Every structure is written in C-alpha cells, then in structure tokens.
Structure 1
Amino acid sequence: MTGEVVTPTPTRHRGLRFTLVTVGLVVALAITCIVSITSGQYDLSPTSLVGVLLRGIGIDSAWAPTASTDYGVIFTLRMPRIVLGLLVGAALAVSGVLMQAIFGNPLADAGVVGVSSGAALGAAASITFGLATFGMWTTPAFAFLGGLVAVFSVYFISRSGGRTEVVTLLLTGIAINAIAGAGMAFFTFLGTTSTREQIVFWQLGSLNGALWSNIQLVAPLVLIGVVVALIVAPGLDLFALGERTARHLGVNVELLRVVVIVTVALLVCAAVAFAGIIGFAGLVVPHLMRMMIGPAHLPLVVASALGGALLIAVADLVARTAVPLADLPIGMITSLVGGPFFLWLLVRTRRRSGGWA
C-alpha cells in the first residue's frame, strides 16, 4: 500500500484559527478586566482583588483586605462599570456583524448609519419629558423605538434593485445623524440643567456611573440579541449568496430580514440606553475578526462579541487612567481608533468597486 498524504482542509484551518482567536480573546479579556479593576485613582493589588472576590462568595482567605473601602471600590464602582462595558461592547460588535450581513455592505455600522443616534434621540426624549410609561424600562424602551425607526429607515432608503448602494447608505446615515443631532439640540434647549447633562452624556458616551440595576436591564437584552444572532447565523451565510439563491435554498428572506433588523435595534438600544453613543465598535471589530477567522457568521458572532467586549474594556481603562483625576468620554477614544480605520476601509472599498461615480 502506498502512503497517502492528508492535507488540512480549509475548514480545519478555519476551525483552528477560530479556536486560537477565541482563546486569545478570552485571555486578553481576563487580563484587561484584572488590570482595570486594580487600576485607577485608588490602586489595588491583584491579591486584594482575589481576596475581595472570595469574600463576595463567602470564603475567607489570608488575601482579604482589612480596609472596607476596597470592597466598596470593587463591588460598587469598578465591577458594575466593567460588566456594563463588556455587555455594551458585545452588543455593538454583534449588531455590526448583523448590519453588515443584512445590508451586504462592509461599511454598515450602528454609529455610521445613524442607528445609535436614533436610539439616543429616543432616550433623550424620554429623559427630557420625564416619561415613566414603562417604569424603569421607559428609557430603554424609547431608545429601542428610536433605534428601530432609524434602522428601518436606513434599510429601506438605501436598498435599490435588491442591493445596498454604498453612497446611498452613507448619505442616509449622514441624514439620520443630522436629524438626530437636531433633535438632541432641541431637547437640550427644552430641558433642565439635569436633563441637559444627561443628553450631553448620550452624545459623548461613557460608562461612568454604571450601576448593578443598569446591568439587570441591559444583560437580558444583550443575551437575547446574541442568542438570536447565533440562531440566524446559518441563514446569514446563505443570505450572503444573494437573496434569490437564499430563497431557493429554503431561507425565508423577508422573515430573516425583519428578525435581524429588530435584533439590531434591540442590541443598539441595550448599548445606548446606559452608555450613550459609542462609535465605530460595530465597524472595527467585525472586520478584524473576519480577517482572522473568515466570513462564516456563527464563529464570527462569537469572536466579535468577545472582541467588542475587549475593545470597550480597553477603551474604558484608557478613559479612566489616561488623565489623572479625569474620566474621558469613551466614545472619543473609540472614535480615535475607528475614524482612521473607517477612512482606510472607505478607500479600500472604493478601489475594489472601481469607483462610485
């Protein structure tokens, strides 16, 4: 018998890359969280962190700090902020994956096309008028409605002949951002000093003031959105072949489209409702993950969720520690990273398409 050389298949290569990327992201995320919890104006040692966490689950250890301030800093201030950042990052990145898939366009992103601004406008309306229709869910509910209107508007305006035109997509995003900006300015004019400060918060984006009660609202929304994204991922792989082909392969294109759009609004609402507008996270992360693990949507959703959480965790760490005794807007930091990336992506897309004229 002659020996047969078995060459690795592309699928095996992609599976190995996905495993390596996932492990790397989890390790980087754990390290970033530890550094973030122990760094800041009130420094803590890693051993003190371990002692506090063990005390939190009822285990006394020699590492437990004697100062009660350590417990307050970790459990009341830093941990809620970090957990909220992880949820927001995952929500924005997964929404970016879904938007790029359903639009069939690499430039689609909740911030670029105005969906984040629409959600922030809805939240600002509920704050300015002091609405409490749905109790503690009022602000997230209005953010969801604003995001839903924005994403449907972008989708139907930018679609032409069964595809999404790049120029129309960008111009639609500019228009929606302008409308939302005007609305935010109007609500700022109408509001009190307190509501004006909150509206400015929406525009800059920040995790400052995160509370466990916020996380109780955000976590279920993000969990539902990510689970739905995982469920529809195989359908998105077929959708990428074209709507006609997807229909022939048994995909209910109309239902898939509506489910994805509503899911995007849900994820953006979860991110915007308590963190404000954080731009470009949904644009940068999916592209980086796609370049590393390939275009298959199921692993892409998982990797993007981890990558988005890591991006926001790192950005928040920089926001808290870059300037002493100051808390920088996290949206500014992500824009500093995402802006040049978007310009590079814009130029590359234009070259590949042979121009838009």
Structure 2
Amino acid sequence: MRNKLKGFKVFPDRYGFFPFVFLIYLVMPSYYVAIEKGWKQMAGIGLLLLFLVTYRQLYNSFDKKSYTYWLVIQVVIIIFLAIFYNLYNIFLGFFAAHFIGWYKDKKTFYRALGLFAFAIIFPLIVQWKTLELANVFYYGVFIVIMFISPFGIRSMSSRMELEKKLDEANEQIKELVKRDERMRIARDLHDNLGHTLSLITLKSQLVHKLISKDAEKAKLETKEIERTSRSALKQVRELVSDMRAITVAEELIETEILLQAAGVSFQFKGDSKLEEVPLLTQNILSMCLKEGVTNVVKHSHAKNCFVQLVKRDGEIELSVLDDGKGLDETNEDGNGLKGINERLRLIEGFMKIISHKGTKLIITVPIIVKEKKAGVGS
C-alpha cells in the first residue's frame, strides 16, 4: 500500500506546474456552488470534485477509449453546472477545449468538437430568456475563442510530435553512422592487417625452428619480422588517421543550425580554420563547444550567443558567451561541465566560467605540433 502511495503522482512530471496553474479557473464555479444551500450545494460540491477527477485522469489516460470516457464526463458536468447553477460555468469549457486539441485522429477530433459545441450552446438555449444583449456579445466572444483553441492546441501537439519523431530519427541516423563506421574499421582491420599478422606468425614459427639449425638465417628472418611489423604499425596509424573526427569548423555550422532552431541569435568571431591543430584536439574542442552551446539552449533563456576563437602562441582559446539568466553557482559541476573538464584533461586543457548577467565559458588548450607522418623516423 505504501509503495502504491509513494509512486502516486497527481500529474505526469513532463507537464511541470502547468496543470496546477490551470486549476485557478475553478475559483468562480466554486463560488457559485458555495452560495447555494442544502442538497443543491452538496450536489454541486460533488460535481466539482468529479470534475477534478476527470481533469487529473485526462492527463494520465494513455489509451483513446478511457480518454474519451473521461472527456465525456467532464463535458456533461459542464452542462449541469451551467444550467442548474450559473451560466458563467460554461467557461469551464476551456478545460475541455484544451483536451480536445490532443486528439490526433481528425475524425475523432471533429466528433469531440461537435459534442463540445453542443455542451456550450445547449445551456445558452435553455437560459436564453435570462440573457441581456450586452451579455450575448460577452458570451459570444469567449465562445468563439473556446471553439478556436482546440485547433491551436492540436497544431501545437502535432508540431511537438513531429519534433519528437525528428529527434528519434536523428538518433537512429547517428547510431547507424556509428555502426557503419565500426563495420568499416572492422573490415579495414581484417583486410589490411589480417594478412600481415598471419605472415608475422608464420615467420615467428620459422625462426623458432631455425635458431638451433641455422642461426644466420634465423637472424635474417627476425629482420624480416621487424620490417613486417613496422608495415603493420604504419597500416594501424593510417587507419586511425582516416577515422572520422569532427573539426571545429564543422561543429560551428552545427552550432549555428541549433541556435537558429532554438530562436537564439548566433555570432562568431575568429578563424575556424585550425589546420595546424591535430584532429584529436579539434575533436575534443568540438565536443566542448557542442556541450557549451547545448547548455545555452537548454538552461540560459538567452536571446544571443557569441562564440569566439582566438589563436595565440602555444595555445588556442574558445569562448561561448550568452546573455541569459546566468549560471546557478550550486550547479557548476552539472549541465555537462564536468564532462567538458574530463575531456580537456586528455589534452592538458582547462576551462573557466564567468557568470554575471549571462554566462561565459572559456576553454583554453595548448597547441601541439602535429606528429610526423607514420613511418618517418620509425
């Protein structure tokens, strides 16, 4: 029993505080019920409590049948409260209008909209004699808004669904690219190194046999093994150098696309061509840049983001500046900053954070001269 209560949640976490804020619209219906007396007051309280149950269940219903069941109950309660208590209760229809917009199927959406229209118009017809001309205009404006709002909610819901599918598709593409890259590396290792390693094994066996019989020939074979192993080492280095690494210039293009999609203005200053910087350093710089910009999009609420790349003697400095709310000092190890630190340690780099009317992430790494080409001086 305790475990069930512990796992109970009024509304799903993904909606945050929004469902609770919406409950403020129950203040007026509660007042109209409170001014009644006797059994009518008790019945009204019961209807409002049932309305609250339907409101919660509509956020927690995951199948179409139960969702429609709770929506119908909610609409019926609105009709009762509007006819038998106060006509202003038809504005509870904003709750139902919100949930109608969640229907994905167009046919079901329009059916629910038809039921909703009846629930709003029927009480008006019943109470028509009590309405004044000024009130008709007042009701009319809000009823039109109620009828339009499901279309807006449905459009927003469809867009969110498309964005979710796009994110899932992008993740699948990334996984496919990784798998393809692993398969390519495996093929290259097998094709390029398989024969060479087999040759080394055979020659090692031959040397073992010749040591006691023909020492001079055994020495010649060991030289041949050394030459073959150098060749294998060269092949490994070529494979590693050919592996896909993201350059800073490529990541800057992705950065601009991400920020534009998030509605954040992007400005870059500096030279993104880092031809003298090894691919490993560029790859780590690119990952740090990506993490920093992701933080800007997710946490800063910024309108502008500035990226600057400065090359100095012996080092390179990359900075990401935003004009957002600033960094929470209690969470400086969070938001991926720990991961940035760990990556930078691999190349003896370090980072610095300045947070005042925005956040500035400064990344500094030493510029290491590229190694000589494989096989030279080995």
TM-score by length of 2: 0.28
- Structure holding more helix per residue: 1
Structure whose CA Rg is larger: 2
- Structure holding more strand per residue: 2
